Structure 1
């Protein structure tokens, strides 16, 4: 009996600075070439999703991060036009904005103040909303 085909596994990394700007890349390749997206990519065999997130972030933006907080798992079979892809999203907040430098398959990388008005690749708008909610300080009344 043949094993069923499994979805691809990716990570997406949400990086905020203390001014609540988010680090976005412009995709260098299809799908969504030229669109804003979160840094991220495919998990390699033998790699944890956390380390894949850190590696992809470093490859695409030149930034290195330590602690990551799980935002969620995104598994809609139609989230990626290339095929069923499951993504594990993580978030972190940097104490200061470090100038990114694009690399790997990112055409550019930049800090964006108002991402709410942008058309983002894949389901990255939803991931950003979830990360923003997760990291928002909770009031204690």
Structure 2
């Protein structure tokens, strides 16, 4: 997981806890996708933030603004489970 975050964002993180496992059929229209979500802390300088080669853009969004963003699939539920948004 730490390696994947580094690959996709160029940031180093420390895993703090597991948020949940998401396996419900139909949660992702691309297929039967299973996800495990983790709460992490960024280690070091966020000025190193860069998107990976398979994404157009990566950015840090203040948690106060997350509830107003139209998120894909069940990602809003994951943030609610993480107690990031209510």
Please indicate, yes or no, whether the TM-score normalized by the shorter chain is above 0.5.
yes
TM-score norm. by structure 2 comes to 0.80
Distance 1:87 1:60, change over 3 A: same
Higher alpha-carbon Rg: 1
Gaps of 5+ in 1: 1-52, 134-141
1:115 aligned to 2:63? no
Q: Secondary structure at the match of 2:34?
A: strand
Distance 1:87-1:59 versus aligned 2 partners, 3 A rule: same
- Report the CA distance between 1:122 and its aligned residue: 1.8
RMSD after superposition: 1.9
SS in 2 for 1:83: coil
Q: Which structure shows the bigger proportion of residues in helix conformation?
A: 2
Stretches of structure 2 lacking an aligned partner (at least 5 in a row): none
Equivalent pairs, count: 81
